[in-house]
């Protein structure tokens, strides 16, 4: 009798714990549909060149689009009980156009979803994407990072309160300008100050001055191009085999398919914890994973088997064009590799489909035509990964905790009752 009652109670406890699975994320809508909706909201603009000189009008339009979205999202966040604040950072910098230098004005837009922790306890993460493009192509700058940030913000403010997650540490969403600028002809590395340099060396430095610890930045740089055909990942003449030999071996084993997201990071104490946390979140966001992601299924229920592949920068590595390819300007600005903008270095990693190293549209792309089920699911996986990461690292699980507490109190109380009954 005693054992039977205890067994029953343990079953009840087990069921109530399973029901309060802290990793249950998702929502009552599909991520792919939301991504598609936000791309369509800015009908056609993602197709255009948005360079500060040759695409000034489209770039200004994109800025207005982002500002409108930011205002809308800020309002939504407030309705859901969050403290959200926006900042506009204006700056002037030099870019190289052909062989000339031009001075341009840039605008970074920053939206902060504040955590409930006091500043002294706040450990923010920053997610950033640039919204301008290169000078004569949109192909490698289609704007998916911007859409990922907008989708993720909306999804977080809808779902966190509904699922009883309390955002403890802040999440910074940064839309940066002037990513493409002057390059050092010898080494191909960016020189001087991009929008991300300005963000890191000025805005972030001030924001972090009275906060506890910066967990790091995740740069989103092209997330839409998935290609599972063999040899769609271009490696010839890049030197990837020498620079990133472990990744190269994995690529070869996988017939050089472009079916993965690249995670670019330094092999050091700054980037490794962030890279590991993101990889863990990627694994948890898989539909194979035991933790139910919950929410509505995406409209196409056959889910992609996308992979995450690490491109690790080691000290004294073989220098080749592939090294420069994976050093995008946002990330190197935060790494502050050239120590040109002060002393601060931040943890920073990049998630990317590798841009023009992946077969697909290479020049002017029709972004609408790129919004296939496969590509949308591929991009949704990155959005879900970031959501898992934020839930794991930035929230406290108030709802599940109180239901765990009440289950334990119930179990203990009932067990005492059962033992008491058994004895007498
Ligand atoms: C940001 O907040 C200010 C008020 O602090 C507001 O005037 C502005 O329109 C907001 N939006 C953007 C995109 O900057
Ligand atoms: C940059 O902005 C300043 C005013 O803030 C203006 O005087 C200048 O003409 C602008 N430069 C360009 C290239 O638009
Ligand atoms: C945060 O700061 C306020 C005022 O400084 C204080 O009253 C409160 O207890 C602090 N909260 C935490 C969680 O430390
Ligand atoms: C994220 O959280 C995990 C444990 O929840 C922790 O081990 C890790 O250090 C955190 N990562 C970062 C970058 O803060
Ligand atoms: C993620 O999954 C892969 C493949 O199952 C595994 O090799 C890797 O160790 C996992 N990474 C983390 C951080 O859990
Ligand atoms: C995928 O890669 C193959 C092989 O390189 C290429 O022929 C094809 O056009 C690519 N598909 C798309 C949709 O870009
Ligand atoms: C872009 O692709 C969409 C969907 O495939 C198509 O309807 C549209 O006509 C294309 N636009 C151009 C300019 O080719
Ligand atoms: C689902 O996705 C697969 C692979 O991406 C595609 O072949 C199929 O047509 C899609 N089905 C529907 C109903 O959209």
Residue 233's DSSP bridge partners are 358
Identify whether the C-beta of residue 31 lies closer than 8 Å to the C-beta of residue 151.
yes
**Mean pLDDT confidence for 235-251:** 92
Given the candidates 3.40.50.300, 3.40.50.1100, 3.40.630.10, 3.10.129.10, the CATH classification of the domain at 22-400 is 3.40.630.10
Q: What is the number of the ligand closest to the CA of 95?
A: 2
Please indicate whether residue 178, judged by its CB atom, sits closer than 6 Å to ligand 2: no
User: How many Å is the Cα radius of gyration of the chain?
Assistant: 23
Q: What are phi and psi of 232, to 5 degrees?
A: -85, -10
Separation between Cα atoms, residue 372 and residue 368, nearest integer Å? 8
Ligand nearest to the CA of 366: 7
User: Is the distance from CB of 216 to CB of 270 less than 8 angstroms?
Assistant: yes
d(CA 419, CA 424): 9
The answer, yes or no, to whether any atom of ligand 8 lies below 6 A from the CB of 300, is yes
- At 136, the pLDDT band (50, 70, 90 cuts) reads confident
- The whole-number average pLDDT for the span 238-258 is 94
Can you tell me whether residue 342 is helix, strand or coil? coil
Q: Which of 233, 251, 359, 371 for mutating ligand 6's site (highest number of atoms within 8 Å of CB)?
A: 359
Angstrom distance (rounded) from CA 153 to CA 147: 10
143 close to 222: Cβ distance less than 8 angstroms: no
pLDDT band at 297 (very low <50, low <70, confident <90, very high): very low
Per-residue model confidence (pLDDT) at position 32 = 94
**d(C-alpha 422, C-alpha 1), whole Å:** 7
Q: Are strands 348-352 and 260-266 parallel, antiparallel or unpaired?
A: antiparallel
pLDDT tens for 259-288 read 999 999 999 999 999 999 999 999 999 876
Q: Which long-range contacts (CB under 8 A, 24 or more apart) does 69-76 make?
A: 69/38, 69/41, 69/150, 70/109, 70/111, 70/175, 73/111, 73/150, 73/153, 73/154, 73/157, 74/111, 76/154, 76/157, 76/158
Task: Give residue limits of the domains in the chain.
Answer: 22-400
The alpha carbon of 117 and the centre of ligand 3 are apart by a number of angstroms equal to 8
Ligand 5 mutation pick, 253, 278, 282, 283, max ligand atoms within 8 A of CB: 283
Check if 280 has its Cβ closer than 6 Å to any atom of ligand 5: yes
- Tens-place pLDDT, residues 36-56: 999 998 766 888 889 988 899
Per-residue confidence (pLDDT) for residue 135, from 0 to 100:
80
Q: Percentage of residues in the chain with pLDDT exceeding 90? A: 58
Neighbours of 229 (CB within 10 A): 13
Average pLDDT over residues 217-231: 95
Confidence of residue 15 (pLDDT cuts 50, 70, 90): very low
Q: pTM for this structure?
A: 0.85
Contact 298, 31 (CB under 8 A): yes
Compute the distance between CA of residue 293 and CA of residue 287 in angstroms, rounded to an integer: 7
**CB neighbour list of residue 228: distance below 8 Å, 6 or more residues apart:** 257, 258, 259, 374
Q: Whose CA is nearest to atom 12 of ligand 1?
A: 67
The per-residue pLDDT for 352 is 96
**pLDDT of 299 over the 80 cut:** no
Give the closest residue to 383 by CA, choosing from 182, 238, 223, 267. 223
Long-range contacts of 92-100 (CB under 8 A, 24+ apart): 93/178, 93/181, 93/192, 93/193, 93/194, 93/195, 93/198, 94/181, 94/182, 94/192, 94/193, 95/52, 95/53, 95/178, 95/180, 95/181, 95/182, 96/181, 96/182, 96/183, 97/53, 97/54, 97/135
Residue 152 phi, psi (nearest 5): -65, -45
d(CA 87, CA 98): 33
Tens of pLDDT, residues 373-417: 999 999 999 999 999 999 999 999 775 545 555 556 566 666 666
In this predicted structure, what is the pLDDT of residue 150? Answer: 97
Q: Is residue 297 in contact with ligand 8, taking CB distance under 6 Å?
A: no
Atom of ligand 1 nearest to the CA of 66: 13
In ligand 2, which atom is closest to the CA atom of 102?
13
Measuring from atom 5 of ligand 6, which residue has the nearest CA? Answer: 232
Tell me the pLDDT band of 68, cut-offs 50, 70 and 90: very high
Do β-strands 125-130 and 348-352 pair in parallel, antiparallel, or remain unpaired?
Answer: unpaired
Angle between helices 2-19 and 398-423 (to 10 degrees): 180
- Ligand 1 centroid, distance to 74 Cα (angstroms): 9
With a 6 A CB cut-off, is 104 part of the ligand 2 pocket? Answer: yes
């Amino acid at each position: 009798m005693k054992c039977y009652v205890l067994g029953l109670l343990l079953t009840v406890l087990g069921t109530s714990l399973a029901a309060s699975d802290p990793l249950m994320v998702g929502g009552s809508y599909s991520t792919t549909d939301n991504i598609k909706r936000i791309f369509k909201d800015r009908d056609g603009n993602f197709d255009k060149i948005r360079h500060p000189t040759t695409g000034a009008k489209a770039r200004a339009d994109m800025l207005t689009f982002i500002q409108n979205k930011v205002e809308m999202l800020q309002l939504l966040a407030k309705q859901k009980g969050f403290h959200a604040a926006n900042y506009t950072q204006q700056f002037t910098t030099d870019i190289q156009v052909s062989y000339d230098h031009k001075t341009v004005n840039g605008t970074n837009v920053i939206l902060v979803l504040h955590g409930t922790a006091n500043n002294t306890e706040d450990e923010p993460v920053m997610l950033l994407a640039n919204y301008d493009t290169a000078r004569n192509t949109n192909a490698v700058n289609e704007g998916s990072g911007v859409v990922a940030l907008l989708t993720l913000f909306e999804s977080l403010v809808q779902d966190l309160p509904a699922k009883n997650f309390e955002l403890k540490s802040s999440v910074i969403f940064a839309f940066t300008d002037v990513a493409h600028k002057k390059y050092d002809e010898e080494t191909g590395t960016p020189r001087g100050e991009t929008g991300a340099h300005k963000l890191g060396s000025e805005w972030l430095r001030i924001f972090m001055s009275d906060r506890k610890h910066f967990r790091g930045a995740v740069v989103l740089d092209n997330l839409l191009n998935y290609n599972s055909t063999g040899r769609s990942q271009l490696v010839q003449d890049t030197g990837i085999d020498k620079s990133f030999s472990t990744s190269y071996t994995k690529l070869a084993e996988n017939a050089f398919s472009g079916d993965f997201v690249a995670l670019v990071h330094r092999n050091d104490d700054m980037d490794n914890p962030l890279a590991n946390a993101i990889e863990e979140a990627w694994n948890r966001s898989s539909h194979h994973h035991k933790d139910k992601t919950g929410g509505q299924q995406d409209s196409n229920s056959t889910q992609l088997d996308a992979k995450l592949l690490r491109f690790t920068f080691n000290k004294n590595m073989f220098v080749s064009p592939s090294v420069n390819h994976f050093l995008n300007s946002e990330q190197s600005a935060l790494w502050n590799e050239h120590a040109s903008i002060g002393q601060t270095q931040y943890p920073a990693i990049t998630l990317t489909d590798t841009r023009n190293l992946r077969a697909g549209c290479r020049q002017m792309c029709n972004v609408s035509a790129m919004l296939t089920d496969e590509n949308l699911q591929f991009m949704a996986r990155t959005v879900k990964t970031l959501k898992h990461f934020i839930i794991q690292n930035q929230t406290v699980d108030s709802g599940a905790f109180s239901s765990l507490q009440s289950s334990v109190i119930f179990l203990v109380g009932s067990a005492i009752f059962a033992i008491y009954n058994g004895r007498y």
